[in-house]
Amino acid sequence: MSPPASIFLAEETLDPSYLPGRLVHREQELGVLERRFRASLAKGLAYHSLVTGGVGSGKTALVRRLAADLERAGRLGNLPVRSAYVNCWRRASDRTVMLDLLRSVHVSLPDRGYSLSEMIDVFEQGLRRSPQHLIVLLDEASALVRQETKLVYLLSRSHEVELGSISLVLVAVEDLLPYLDPASRSSFGVTHRLALPPYDRAALTDILEDRARLALRAGSYDRDVLDQIARIAAPNGDARFALEILAGAAHTAEEAGADAVSSEHVRRAKGSLLPTMTEDHLEALSTNQLSVLLALSRSLKRKGASVPSQKLRASHSALVEELGAPVMSRTTFWRTLKELERDGLVTLDAAGSGESSQVGMDDLPASLLTTLLEERTEGGRPRKR
């Protein structure tokens, strides 16, 4: 027998630093930004923009895509477009950010002895040597701006650079306007602000699918598995978390020698990224809840990402019979499912009316859950098959 083909085609495209060629579900935002920048730069004027959104909402990808697309599109107002990207997370002072910007125009200054405005002068001289529109991307700019930055003010005023312009793009999770001085605030009026809404489950599935197509071998994943991952990441709309789970699940599948990513691999990857259900948590569950979870984990181990509630009830009846416990009434079963949903341990997707729902569970690998729950019901003499 030949070994299974690798799950991965181009693993590096799952890396957080990989910039995808297109951004599904952000085409509109990207289009708006591109039009605004083009219109302004073509007239020789700088354009400033503030982009906000939650973690994993695609802020960094969006502004880097914008800059790359504008650079590639060629001259505007007869000048080329260039960009400089600085992540300010660990460089939360004007001077350290400025040193990075100087490097981007190939000027190096000693770390000491220059005031901020002198540094900006040198920076502009660097730009004058090669006339261009420069787009300065300041990512994760919150800490910088909160400590009364002068850099934002100085950079957003420096459009009088001879033969060129400096545009400023600020990126942050929160709105930065309250922290800016009034003059800078006026550079970021309504048409200079863009707030990215969180991705919903369908958008996350599309993003995952787009990336899976690049990163993984065709046939090694299916839409159900991607949807399962999207469901896990949807409460925060976080594409980064979704892609981390996809990468983790693909690795788990590869290491297991499987030829495709299964929902069990997803649960295992998710469990190792964010173990939300602990043994303590399991201790606190009622016997009813435990037996429903055990039935669910067994069904999922056989069947994938979710099972219809009717089917689950049938496997649950078989399980309690096996354990020698009394059969649970339909109402008790349904109420127990609802409790588990409320505690965030299972998900219920209403497919139609009433009790015909799809039941899913992502928190723990079914195999581990089965072991834990069988230990717990040991007193009930489980007959292992």
Asked if 262 and 253 touch (Cβ cutoff 8 Å), the reply is yes
Radius of gyration of the chain (CA): 27
**Which of 23, 136, 246, 277 forms a contact with ligand ADP (CB under 6 A)?**
23
Three-state SS at 17: coil
CB of 375 to ligand ADP, least distance (A): 39
168 part of the interface to ligand ADP, by CB under 6 A: no
Single-letter code of the amino acid located at 80:
P
How many residues bind ligand ADP (CB under 6 A)? The answer is: 19
CB of 207 to ligand ADP, least distance (A): 5
- Return the residue of 26, 192, 265, 376 that touches ligand ADP, per CB under 6 A: 26
Longest dimension (CA), the chain: 86
Nearest Cα residue to 154 out of 126, 124, 110, 109: 124
* Interface of this chain with Mg ion, residues 44 to 63, rule: CB under 5 A: 60
Q: If binding is defined by CB under 6 A, does position 373 make contact with ligand ADP?
A: no
- What's the closest the beta carbon of residue 258 comes to Mg ion, in angstroms? 32
Length of the chain: 385
> Toward Mg ion, which CB reaches closer, 25 or 376?
25
The nearest distance, CB 208 to ligand ADP, in angstroms, is 9
What is the sign of the dihedral through the CA atoms of 257, 260, 262 and 266?
Answer: positive
Residue closer to Mg ion, measured from CB, 171 or 282 = 171
Q: Distance (Å, rounded) from C-alpha 359 to C-alpha 347?
A: 6
Q: Which residue, judged by CB position, is nearest to ligand ADP in the bound state?
A: 58
Owner of token pair 């950010």: 97
Residue choice 207, 290, 300, 319 for contact with ligand ADP (CB under 6 A):
207
Q: How far is the CB of 65 from Mg ion (least distance, A)?
A: 12
Side by side, the strands of the sheet bearing 306-308 are 306-308, 357-360, 347-350
Find all residues with CB under 8 Å of 296, minimum gap 6, and list them: 307, 312, 346, 359, 361
Q: DSSP 3-state assignment of 87?
A: strand
The structure tokens listed for 102 are: 């100087």
Site string for ligand ADP, 275-304 (x = CB under 6 A): ------------------------------
Judged by CB under 6 A, does residue 58 bind ligand ADP? yes
| Stretch of 1-9, 15-23, 111-119, 150-158 contacting ligand ADP, by CB under 6 A | 15-23
Asked if 201 touches ligand ADP (CB under 6 A), the answer is: no
Should residue 205 be labelled a site residue for ligand ADP when binding is judged by CB under 6 A? no
Distance, in Å, from the CA atom of 132 to the CA atom of 74, rounded to the nearest integer, reads 11
Compute the CA torsion angle 17, 23, 26, 32 (nearest 10 deg): 100
17's tokens: 């630093």
3-state secondary structure of 308: strand
Out of 60, 252, 297, 347, the residue judged to bind ligand ADP by CB under 6 A: 60
Interacting partner of 58 out of Mg ion, ligand ADP, none (Cβ under 5 to 8 A depending on kind): ligand ADP
Pattern of binders to ligand ADP over 239-278, x per CB under 6 A?
xx--x-----------------------------------
3-state secondary structure of 359: strand
Residue ranges binding Mg ion (CB under 5 A): 60
Give me the residues that bind ligand ADP (CB under 6 A), please: 16, 20, 23-26, 53, 55-61, 207, 210, 239-240, 243
